[in-house]
Amino acid sequence: MVFVLPARLGEHSQFSVPADYEARMNCVRAALVPFAERLQLPTVDLDPVLCPANDCNALRTRDGVHVDPDRAPEVLDWLVGAVLAARPG
């Protein structure tokens, strides 16, 4: 089992989440890291992929939450590779 840490939301996500979405997502991510550590789960972090150079809109221009369809294959390829690499020996 591998735990996938969710990325922060993009600014276009404000249609469905409150204006303090950044603080909320940081709080969620901060709580999930020790959870995965406590369970000794290898972890893959989606944030560097979905928020490259701190731009959380780069791959999610439509709604700030879901990866744009034309970019989804590259994210899926990365995710599969990262999960396989994170699995214990």
Secondary structure in 3-state letters for the chain: CCEEECCCCCHHHHHCCCCCHHHHHHHHHHHHHHHHHHCCCCEEECHHHHCHHHCCCCCCCCCCCCCCCCCHHHHHHHHHHHHHHHCCC
pLDDT in tens, 14-73: 656 677 878 888 999 999 999 999 999 999 999 999 999 999 888 988 887 889 999 999
**pLDDT value of position 71:** 93
pLDDT reading at 13 higher than 70:
no
Instruction: Tell me what pLDDT residue 19 has.
Output: 78
pTM, to two decimals: 0.84
